[in-house]
């Protein structure tokens, strides 16, 4: 998937500190996963793959990005 817009706290999942992304940019870290759904909140995002893997990124100060433990997908 491609993302653009406000990128506060890496909320777009690009690994960049640039606060505003003005052109559509791929989320490279999702690799070759086939993403079927993607959603964004305030400073975090989530993507669901066709195999049921859930990927999250961004601010995690209240576990809103669900990053307590990492698992391989």
48 pLDDT band, cuts 50/70/90, is very high
pLDDT at 51: 94
d(CA 72, CA 28): 17
Quote the radius of gyration of the chain (alpha carbons, Å): 12
pLDDT at 11: 82
- How far from 46 is each of 39, 49, 64, 66, CA to CA, in Å? 5, 10, 10, 9
pTM attached to this predicted model: 0.71
**Burial of 16 from C-beta contacts in 10 A (0-12 / 13-18 / 19+):** exposed
For 2-16, write each residue's pLDDT tens digit: 989 888 877 888 887
pLDDT at 44: 83
For 53-63, write each residue's pLDDT tens digit: 888 887 766 55
């Amino acid at each position: 998937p491609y993302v653009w817009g406000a990128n506060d706290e890496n909320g777009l999942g690009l690994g960049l500190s640039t606060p505003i992304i003005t052109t559509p940019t791929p989320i490279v870290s999702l690799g070759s996963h086939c993403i079927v759904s993607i959603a964004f909140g305030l400073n975090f995002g989530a993507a669901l793959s066709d195999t049921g893997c859930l990927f999250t990124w961004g601010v995690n100060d209240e576990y809103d990005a669900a990053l307590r433990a990492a698992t391989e997908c």
